[in-house]
Amino acid sequence: MSTTLTQPTVHKLDSGSLWRGRFGRFILPYLLILPTLLFISAFTLWPAVSAVINSTIKPAPTVRQQPAFVGLQNYIDLFNPDKEIGQVFPRVLLNTLVFVGVTVPVSMVLSFFLALALNRKIRGLTFFRFAFFYPVLLPLIGAASIFAFIYADNIGLANILLRGVGLPGIKWIGDATWTPIAIMIVALWKQTGFYMILYLAGLQALPTDVYEAADLDGAAAWTKIRRITLPLLSGTTVFILTAAAANAFQQVDQLYALGEGSPADRSNLLLYFIFQKYSERANQGYVNAITVILLVLLLCFTIFNLRVIEGQAYYEN
Amino acid sequence: MTGVLLVAALFWLIPLIWTVLVSLRPSDESLVQGNIFFGSRITLENFTETFRIVDWVGQYITTLIFVFGVLAVQIVTIVLAGYAFARIKFRGRTILLTLTLVQLMIPSAVLLVPNFATVRGLSLYDTKLALMLPYFGSAFGTFLMRQTFRQVPLELEDAARIDGCGWVGILRNVYLPASGPTLVAFSLVSVAARWNEFLWPLMITQSKSNRVLTVGLSQVLRTNEVGALYGQITAGVLIVSFTLLILFIVLQKQFVNSFLRSGLK
């Protein structure tokens, strides 16, 4: 074993013999993936299954009694206005859908135009990149704390500026209409920079010859964007859409600093609602049912996006 | 265009600037006293005051343990699994890969409640290990390594085999050297994500020795419920965030490229 090709020096002191037998070769890949699979099974797959199972159970009212299997009753209760939870849950579900439905498109449009603007040779690129991206690196609860102060009634920057131009101050945290908006602003401020970077990457990978041809034809800027840029970026767009939606369902830390769903759960979001109900030791059947609903929403979104990817194999291959 | 860009950039920066300014002015002075920016004097008392509420040093250490503990295990698991999925043909490879990638669709954040039950069942409530467990397996990292490894020319692996390397040697001599940038990118994304985790650490830890920085910030917030002392809150935010922010300023290019790679499938 002394002849070597012109390859970098190789260390021979390794466990070659143990894995060379038939059994060793067979079992090796399974052992290699075992840790990853173990952790993902334990903390992603199994919890999802257990949430489904536990959502069909009504917990025992007292320690003596047994929990009871109730099938889909918990899900029905969630929407039943005669039950306490049924009065609140639909509201929270609606809030979440609105939150996702607004922040995802807005952040994508914003980030796209920001990326377009930054995709030219301008001075201060480093400055601009920092300006838009740094919120991504803040903890969401930190970002929310900053904005909690900006939103403060009298000493908050937002109302100071409003009063400075003659407008009345807004009760950002506490008003049923403005609180959701306040929360959405924080989410947009925080995440747009991330999607901007992704769009920038996509833009920088675009071929230039198509644009040159368009310029020769005298195409206007907006037409170029609509007819060339956007279609070529469809893969990037779908990816950002998936990431943005997943984020929108998960990022609820800010509620801790911005009202915790006030007033009366009018600004509450599903994941935080789950967290609250769990901390309150509320009916765990309900908590698991809500978790399952959230999971289903996420999966629907992902599957929808996968379908879109399949249909959109445009200029790519 | 550049004008609009500048205005937008300023809007994005104002919260940070405001936070820094407010953290440096005495808490008991309202904004109309003294200089609008600095009050009557610049002071660090907000920062020192928060040390009375939160054991920042301890929580900083806990956060470091959490972040790098997770990262260490992740790197081991994703390299091993990435290699297997990339270069070994075995029965059930496709199914097992799909199972792994389910994690990309179901973020563990959503599974707070079931995971809490699991951890409690293992008698690990309020331990540093419990903090880290849900993150040890990374579908994202596995997928990233698989893609990276597949781009390494097979001839290099063959040559290493001819020289007598088993899989350990192959990984060490061929694949790991080739995946340096990817590992750096993954590490930055992982560190940033763990540093900013909140709900899970809040749920799963209780004793002071197990709290991470974000939980510390929530302590400052709650202490300030009545008569919020925003000087302290903003100081708290800076204490929690300064590490990543400074890292970003120093390594901006690497950070941006890392997050870029996380998007390039």
Determine whether the interchain pair A139/B85 forms a contact, defined as Cβ–Cβ distance below 8 Å.
no
Lowest pLDDT segment from A11-20, A86-95, A180-189: A11-20
What is the rounded distance in angstroms from the CA atom of residue A83 to the CA atom of residue B253?
54
- C-alpha closest to that of A130 among A202, A197, A188: A197
Question: What is the DSSP secondary structure assignment for residue B64, as one 8-state letter?
Answer: H
What is the rounded distance in angstroms from the CA atom of residue A92 to the CA atom of residue A273?
8
pLDDT of residue A317: 42
pLDDT of residue A12: 47
pLDDT of residue B71: 96
Residue A68 tokens read as 């009871």
Determine whether the interchain pair B100/A33 forms a contact, defined as Cβ–Cβ distance below 8 Å.
yes
Strand partners, A69: A57
Residue B125, chain A, CB below 8 Å: the answer is: no
A125-133 helix and B230-250 helix, angle to the nearest 10 degrees: 130
The count of other CB atoms within 10 Å of the CB of residue A72 is 10
Determine whether the interchain pair B139/A40 forms a contact, defined as Cβ–Cβ distance below 8 Å.
yes
What residues of A are in contact with residue B169 (Cβ under 8 Å)? 10-12, 14, 16
| CA A75 to each of CA A63, A79, A90, A142, A286: distance values in angstroms, whole numbers, following the listed order | 24, 7, 11, 35, 7
Fold topology of A84-311: MetI-like fold (1.10.3720)
Q: What is the DSSP string of B99-124?
A: HHHHHHHS-GGGGHHHHHHHHHHTT-
- C-alpha closest to that of B212 among B237, B236, B195, B187: B195
Report the complex ipTM: 0.87
pLDDT of residue A17: 61
Distance from CA of A1 to the nearest CA of B (A): 7
Determine whether the interchain pair B9/A201 forms a contact, defined as Cβ–Cβ distance below 8 Å.
no
Contact B237, B254 (CB under 8 A): no
What residues of A are in contact with residue B116 (Cβ under 8 Å)? 278
B180-195 helix and B139-150 helix, angle to the nearest 10 degrees: 170
What is the rounded distance in angstroms from the CA atom of residue A251 to the CA atom of residue A140?
8
Please compute the mean of the pLDDT values over residues A124-144 and round it to a whole number: 91
Contact B240, B218 (CB under 8 A): no
Residue A67 tokens read as 């929990």
Determine whether the interchain pair B22/A149 forms a contact, defined as Cβ–Cβ distance below 8 Å.
yes
Question: What is the DSSP secondary structure assignment for residue B210, as one 8-state letter?
Answer: G
Residue A55 has pLDDT above 50, yes or no: yes
Contact A138, B241 (CB under 8 A): yes
Residue A315 has pLDDT above 60, yes or no: no
Q: Which amino acid is at A124?
A: G
pTM of the model: 0.86
**% of chain A with per-residue pLDDT over 90:** 33
Distance from CA of A152 to the nearest CA of B (A): 10
Cis, bond preceding B114 (omega within 30 deg of 0): no
Q: What sign does the dihedral A154-A158-A164-A170 (CA atoms) show?
A: negative
Which stretch of DSSP H or E encloses residue A77?
A: helix A73-78
What residues of A are in contact with residue B73 (Cβ under 8 Å)? 35
* Helix/strand/coil percent split, chain B, to 5: 75, 0, 25
- Supply the mean pLDDT for chain A: 84
What is the rounded distance in angstroms from the CA atom of residue B83 to the CA atom of residue B79?
6
Residue A136 has pLDDT above 80, yes or no: yes
Residue A255, chain B, CB below 8 Å: the answer is: no
Instruction: Kindly report, residue by residue over A205-226, the tens digit of the pLDDT.
Output: 888 888 888 888 877 878 878 8
The count of other CB atoms within 10 Å of the CB of residue B33 is 12
Instruction: Kindly report, residue by residue over A279-305, the tens digit of the pLDDT.
Output: 888 788 889 999 999 999 988 888 887
What is the radius of gyration, based on Cα positions, of chain B?
Answer: 23
Q: Name B45's Cβ contacts closer than 8 Å, sequence gap at least 6.
A: B26, B27, B231
Angle (CA) B215-B261-B16 rounded to 5° is 40
Instruction: Kindly report, residue by residue over A1-25, the tens digit of the pLDDT.
Output: 445 555 555 444 444 566 777 888 8
pLDDT of residue B31: 57
Residue A70 tokens read as 């109730």
pLDDT of residue B86: 92
E-assigned strand segments in B196-246: none
Q: Which residue of A36, A112, A252, A297 to mutate against B (max B Cβ within 10 Å)? A: A36
What is the rounded distance in angstroms from the CA atom of residue A72 to the CA atom of residue A74?
5
Chain A residue whose CA is closest to B253: A126
- C-alpha closest to that of B129 among B139, B140, B113, B118: B118
Please compute the mean of the pLDDT values over residues A71-100 and round it to a whole number: 88
Domains of chain B are 18-261 (1.10.3720.10)
pLDDT of residue A13: 45
Using CB atoms and an 8 Å cut-off, which of residues 6-25 of chain A contact chain B?
7-8, 10-12, 14-20
**Which residues of chain B are under the pLDDT cut of 70?**
1, 28-40, 224-228, 263-265
Name residue, tokens 């799963």. B204
pLDDT of residue A309: 66
